[in-house]
Structure 1
Amino acid sequence: MNKTKPDFNIFTNRPKNSKRMKKYIYSLVLAAVTCGGSLFAQSVDQGKKLFYYERYKSAKEAFEKALASNPNDNKASYWLGQTLLELKDTAAAKALFQKALASNGNAPELLVGMGHLELLEGKKEEARQRFETAISLTKGKDIGVLNAIGHSIVEVKDGDAKFVIEKLTPLTTQKGFNSPETWIVIGDAYRKLGDGGNAITSYQRALQIDPNQAAAKHRISKIYMTQKNTEVFLPALEEAIRLDPNYAPGYFDLYYYYFSRDVNKAKDYFDKFLAVTDATPANDYERTSILFAGRRYDEAIKTAQEYISKLGDNADPRYYKLIAYSYDELKDSVNAKKYLDEYFVKQKPDAFMPKDYEFRAILLSKFPGNEQEAIANYDKAIALDTAQASRLELMTNAAAQAKKSGNRELEAEYLGRLYQVKKDPSNVDMYNWGFANYQAKNYQRADSIFTQYQAKYPNEIYGYLWTARSKQAMDTSMAQGIAVPDYEKLAQKAMELDPVKYKGQAVSAYFYLVQYHNDIKKDKAAAMKYLDKILEVDPANADAARIKEILNKPQKKTGSSSGGSGTKAAPAKK
């Protein structure tokens, strides 16, 4: 016997046999679709938020979930691709975009994603065409697409930041504009161009739209961080995490800042970072590096070696660098160099930092015969560093290393580069540059630099002193007399500027002129004149009195008619 189905809906307890029932079923389907779309959108938005917090592992899971629900959602594909790029899985990102474009070749977001990849591959024209097509398809009105293009360009080393500013700035003047992300991308473009002022203004405008935009405040701190302006960048970092306590990058930078300054503060910020970020192998490395910061070098070495043994080829190459630094602190240069060499073998070329090359230069310099390679590593560090303040520090350190190795010519070269790139070089910078050239026996160059020094700092003695000495070094026999005008000027300036403070320089200059006129020109009267000047400045000068007495004695006949005194004056003091 067939059982009769109940004639009412078990969910609504209403009859099923009416038009209203059909409408109801339709509304349920529509609601389900709408609800599913909402959940999907929520999943993408959630992924974007996780991406913003740099929680890429969680973001990847969110976007994959969204795509599992709707494989044709282009926004989910775009953001998953961006997340894969952040996770350094370029191959997976490329496969994703290629597959998605095969199904929808005119999706703007996918075109932007593929354009980003092409930029990374150095295919600038292909990437630009993708971007222009995406802009054309959206009639230049889709802020999300334009933001994505801007992000792609500023993220890539050779990206055209001016193009970003040109395309995105007009959006900000449109009626109803309220995208803080746009201002952040514009700020990133200005920062890429080295225009810190306009970058900060852009980030501040993002904050005007969204006062809780921690990323904008974080980027402001980054600009002042590169300038080593602690009084500004530290409060900005602290403000970023106050605006959004879940903003992991802010905690990480505070941890990184205190890493070499206050290990307890560093650990505190790292723990706060761990509370709002994903668990990753990189975090294990940072935990180990805190041992180094706490000067627990043996423990840092042991822990790093355990991770290397456990993970094998998948171990973070930085463990080798950490071990190298630890051995260096333990004064074991042999093992330090051994592990740093391993680090340079295992690390990806684009992952090296300027300080890596500097540390390598320092280690190499401890082993005789590696001086040139050490300097070459300093050059790599300087070339890689884009921050002005740290580049200047590297050049200063490179010059010191060159001096220590006895390469005064290279020291002079670095100090010259340092002087040229400094925004406001000081008198000390110019002096060091000139003196290094003098020490390197580049006397003409030294003379040129100190002549400029005279013009720029006319009330300082050093320009006059070292032009005279440079000319003297170029004419050691005095035969050409090229240093004479400079020594006359040195004596004059010494007396004008401060005859007490610069008495020694005046006396030295006069002695040179005594020697020149007596020994080279055979002009006893001129020599006596300069001896008198010495005794005016320094009445107790025994050398001047002795030489004057000798010159005043009647000249012995030697059969020579040279007209000279026949007595050599005391050599000019250096």
Structure 2
Amino acid sequence: MRTFITVLAATAASAVVYDVNAQSLETGKKFLSYERYSSAHAALQPLSASSPEANYYFGLVQLGEGDVNAAKASFAKFPKDFYNQAGTARVLFAEGKGDEAFKMLQEIVDGAKKKDWEKYKVAADAITYSKTATKLDEAVAWYKTAKEKKSDNAELLIGLGDALMRQNTGASNGEATQVFDEAIKIGGSNSLAYARKGLLWLNARQYKEALESYSQAKDADKENPLPYGDLAEVYYRSGKYELAKQNIEEYLKLSDKTTLDQLRYGNILYLTQNYKEATAKYKELIAQGQGEKTPTLYRGLAYAQYQDNNYAEALVSFDKYRSLVKDPKDFTYEDDLYYAYVNNALSKSDEANAAKYTATAEEYYVKALAKNTDEDKTALYRKIADGYKETKNWAKVSEWYDKLVKAYPEASPLDYFNAGYYAYFAKDLTKAKTGLETFNAKYPEENVGYFWLARIAAAQDPEAKTGTAVEPFKAWLNKAPKAGEARKKEDEITAYEYLALVSYNKNDGRGAVDYSKKIQALDPENKPSKQIIDYFAKKGIK
């Protein structure tokens, strides 16, 4: 009898251990799907020694933590298990060995039996969730084969939806929406499925729908931090900065508060223009010794310091970031652009070294342009010009708009106008005249170019004695404004003041008085026009 009792006890204990392990595995998988890597690490590590499946998910956690070597060692513990083979394929993708990785995945799929759906899923997951992996069409096909064998698995459907999202076509995104809806009907991973729908809407810039989906994701599982993080971005993009900040704070509460979680928090603070708070957060993490492990902390710090007008400190942070970046490809065109911004700003505040900073700024603006892969780079040209506007380097502003219109002849009217307009403020009147004549020839219906050509002519006649701007100003005044537009009062006064002064200098009393009266009609307090009227009134000209 005693032996029987002992056996029963042992059996019951085994059942409890099994249930606890199964529960812990599901908990670890949930934490992993929510990108709570520290929590997933703690849940899965004790199970990884005895369970190949748990070991696989533990290896995925290590990949999520950025420790590729540790993940590689973990997957190697169960070399014949297809889960861990798929994990090894993910490591190969991370190491840039895509062909080897895909060959291994193909072997997993080829070994699948009639009802064996998991091999298709795990192989497809390896492609979908490896940033450098290609052959997404193959991943989608494998998911669909798995779905034919197992139609009621929400995790599988979410994987399929994610693969379709990565394909990023109108058709694939539409299909992804349907797949996520199927996953929601099945249940079990609704918070994740709703969050994925929110991401679809976010990428499509359909913010109302994104907000609705993320709200549903929050309601489905109060412990999921992902909706809050993405909501912060939704609100940031729609200009609701306070709500963005509130949601990123909720995200941080629910997350594991890892360095990457806090970096994301700091980034939203930066994006919502809380530059001082962002700077403090980046500095806090760097002070904890995280800067060497996470170089992008210095990147974020440099950006925040630049926006907060701390240019010298921003340059130090940028240089530190650059020294830590192992692969030059990780230094993006935006980094080149902002590095140029910082140097350009210093050229204004540090006159002793202005030439050095100006040269560096120009070098990195050119690098940013070369590194940018957009088919249409007009926005980047404008950003470079904006950098020079900040330091009132009008010659450079004009130069970059000139480069823009030469590279993109169908650029906007404003781009053509700016090429000439800013040359005027750079006191390069010849270039300004050429630029505005080009603008007028291309956009003859626009009035503003004619006015500024007159201003250029007036600048060549500062004492209004030769009358070089008389005909240009008259041409502008006689040209009817575009439908729905009106000339600025200030511009009309400028024209009439010049015409009145030329008439005065030529002793043309009638002309001087008539133009001065036009000024008075626009601005009764204008003293020079009143003085001219009074002067000629004494001579009998009214």
Q: TM-score range by the shorter chain?
A: 0.5 to 0.7
Partner of 2:322: 344
Once the two structures are overlaid, the 10-residue window that deviates more, 129-138 or 155-164, is 155-164
Partner of 1:397: 383
Which of 229, 249, 268 is equivalent to 1:252? Answer: 229
1:237 aligns with 2:250: no
| Structure 1 position 341, deviation (Å) | 1.9
**Which SS does the other structure have where 1:122 is aligned?**
coil
Question: 1:207, 1:25 → 2: CA distance?
Answer: 50
Partner of 1:117: 91
Query: Alpha-carbon deviations, 1:294-328, whole Å to 9, x = none?
Result: 87766765665455344276464344334434432
Which of 55, 67, 71 is equivalent to 1:77? Answer: 55
**Which SS does the other structure have where 1:138 is aligned?**
coil
* Equivalent residues, number: 429
**Which SS does the other structure have where 2:365 is aligned?**
helix
1:161 aligns with 2:136: yes
Aligned amino acid, residue 138 of structure 2 = F
Assess if the C-alpha contact under 8 Å between 1:82 and 1:113 holds in 2.
yes
| Structure 1 position 393, deviation (Å) | 5.2
**Structure 1's 243 and 448: CA in aligned 2 closer, same or farther, altered over 3 A?**
farther
Assess if the C-alpha contact under 8 Å between 2:301 and 2:314 holds in 1.
yes
Which of 43, 52, 59 is equivalent to 2:33? Answer: 52
Partner of 2:426: none
Which of 351, 359, 380 is equivalent to 2:338? Answer: 359
Which of 69, 77, 101 is equivalent to 1:127? Answer: 101
**Which SS does the other structure have where 1:99 is aligned?**
coil
- Gaps in structure 2 of 5+ consecutive residues: 348-357, 424-430, 451-478, 484-510, 512-542
**Structure 1's 197 and 284: CA in aligned 2 closer, same or farther, altered over 3 A?**
same
Question: 1:448, 1:170 → 2: CA distance?
Answer: 61
Question: 2:135, 2:266 → 1: CA distance?
Answer: 39
Question: 1:48, 1:192 → 2: CA distance?
Answer: 22
Once the two structures are overlaid, the 10-residue window that deviates more, 270-279 or 393-402, is 393-402
Assess if the C-alpha contact under 8 Å between 1:200 and 1:220 holds in 2.
no
Question: 1:318, 1:91 → 2: CA distance?
Answer: 21
After the TM superposition, which residues 341-490 of structure 1 pair with which residues of structure 2 at under 5 Å, given as runs? 341-347=319-325, 349=327, 355-366=334-345, 367=347, 368-379=358-369, 382-383=372-373, 394=380, 396-398=382-384, 406=396, 411=401, 429=411, 431=413, 461=445
Partner of 1:423: none
Query: Alpha-carbon deviations, 1:195-236, whole Å to 9, x = none?
Result: 144224323322233256232332333344344443333333
1:272 aligns with 2:258: no
Assess if the C-alpha contact under 8 Å between 2:183 and 2:193 holds in 1.
no
Question: 2:338, 2:104 → 1: CA distance?
Answer: 42
Aligned amino acid, residue 100 of structure 1 = F
Assess if the C-alpha contact under 8 Å between 1:395 and 1:418 holds in 2.
no
Question: 1:89, 1:370 → 2: CA distance?
Answer: 36
Partner of 1:182: 156
Partner of 1:86: 64
| Structure 1 position 46, deviation (Å) | 1.3
1:98 aligns with 2:76: yes
1:63 aligns with 2:49: no
Aligned amino acid, residue 26 of structure 2 = D
Question: 1:270, 1:218 → 2: CA distance?
Answer: 15
TM-score by length of 2: 0.64
Query: Alpha-carbon deviations, 1:148-202, whole Å to 9, x = none?
Result: 3222212322422111122222443x26512233333233223323314422432
- Gaps in structure 1 of 5+ consecutive residues: 1-7, 10-15, 420-426, 455-459, 467-498, 504-541, 543-574
Aligned amino acid, residue 336 of structure 1 = A
Which of 200, 204, 209 is equivalent to 2:183? Answer: 209
Partner of 2:198: 221
Question: 1:215, 1:135 → 2: CA distance?
Answer: 26
| Structure 1 position 247, deviation (Å) | 1.5
Aligned amino acid, residue 363 of structure 2 = E
Question: 1:187, 1:392 → 2: CA distance?
Answer: 34
Once the two structures are overlaid, the 10-residue window that deviates more, 409-418 or 158-167, is 409-418
Assess if the C-alpha contact under 8 Å between 1:292 and 1:326 holds in 2.
yes
**Structure 1's 501 and 257: CA in aligned 2 closer, same or farther, altered over 3 A?**
closer
Assess if the C-alpha contact under 8 Å between 1:409 and 1:436 holds in 2.
no
**Structure 1's 278 and 249: CA in aligned 2 closer, same or farther, altered over 3 A?**
same
Partner of 1:487: none
Aligned amino acid, residue 370 of structure 1 = T
* Percent identity for Structure 1 against Structure 2: 20
Query: Alpha-carbon deviations, 1:40-90, whole Å to 9, x = none?
Result: 22221111011111111111111111124x2xx221111111110000000
**Which SS does the other structure have where 2:359 is aligned?**
coil
Q: Which has the larger radius of gyration?
A: 1
TM-score by length of 1: 0.61
